[in-house]
């Protein structure tokens, strides 16, 4: 499974990268705004800073909702760096945009996926990734993990589909573990979820005991 970090915070991205387990980054307008990054030139420059940290897979989102403008924005984003994956919303013109970008060799991430039909359409259009939102489904009393399982199963029926399942809106460690059990290709989550995998009270107590025993003998 690939680990992506869902943030626009450069310090968090660097920390995850330094841990040695980071495969990519996902961002969106809300995350940019959270970091105080506003204005087109500043946003584009910030994407470049992210690309300079990681090895690959930086999802950068278009803002437009019509085909022509989405294509223009996608080309601007793709020119930032070869690591950019253009993030496109799951709407009619979004599917058309994904199809065109796919024929141009530009990688895409279809975002705001909430059912299997949407995921199938995105894959048919040639999306590199689809992003089903687990946490947001959980918020409306729907099993987000069940959707991940369904999409993984459907894609598995058709080996010609190259689209990877990118579990998004991952809120906690068990979300991440269950996604790995189901077979999601990627999970994107906050830094605290990735570092949370380090933790177990028996690890802490065991290490404390080892160090105490070493101190006694030395």
CA angle (42 as vertex; 188, 85 as ends), nearest 5:
35
CA distances (Å), origin 138, targets 15, 64, 143, 146, 170: 29, 27, 6, 10, 10
Selection from 122, 137, 128 nearest residue 169 by Cα: 137
Which one from 79, 87, 92, 192 is the annotated catalytic residue?
87
What CA–CA distance (Å, rounded) separates 151 from 180?
14
Q: Return the closest-CA partner of residue 84 out of 21, 164, 18, 27.
A: 27
Confirm if 74 and 86 have CB atoms less than 8 A apart: yes
The residues, ordered by sequence, that sit 6+ positions from 122 with a Cβ below 8 Å of its Cβ are 90, 95, 98, 110, 113, 130, 163
Both structure tokens of 100: 């065109």
**Quick check: is 87 catalytic?**
yes
Residues 136, 138, 139: CA angle, nearest 5 degrees: 65
**What's the N-to-C CA distance of the chain in angstroms?**
42
Active site positions, annotated: 87
């Amino acid at each position: 499974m690939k680990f992506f970090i869902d943030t626009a915070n450069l310090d968090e991205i660097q920390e995850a990268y330094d841990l040695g387990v980071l495969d990519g980054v996902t961002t969106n307008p809300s995350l940019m705004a959270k970091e105080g990054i506003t204005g087109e030139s500043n946003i584009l420059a910030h994407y470049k800073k992210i690309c300079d940290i990681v090895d690959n897979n930086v999802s950068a989102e278009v803002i437009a909702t019509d085909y022509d403008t989405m294509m223009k924005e996608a080309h601007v984003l793709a020119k930032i760096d070869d690591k950019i994956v253009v993030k496109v919303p799951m709407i009619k013109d979004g599917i058309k945009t994904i199809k065109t970008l796919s024929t141009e060799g530009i990688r895409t991430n279809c975002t705001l996926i909430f059912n299997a039909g949407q995921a199938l359409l995105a894959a048919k259009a040639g999306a590199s990734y689809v992003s089903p939102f687990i946490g947001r489904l959980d918020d409306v009393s729907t099993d987000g993990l069940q959707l991940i399982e369904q999409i993984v199963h459907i894609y598995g029926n058709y080996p010609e589909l190259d689209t990877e399942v990118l579990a998004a809106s991952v809120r906690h460690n068990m979300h991440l573990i269950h996604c790995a059990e189901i077979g999601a290709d990627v999970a994107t989550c906050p830094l605290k979820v990735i570092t949370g995998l380090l933790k177990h009270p028996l690890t802490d107590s065991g290490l404390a005991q080892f160090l105490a025993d070493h101190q006694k003998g030395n």
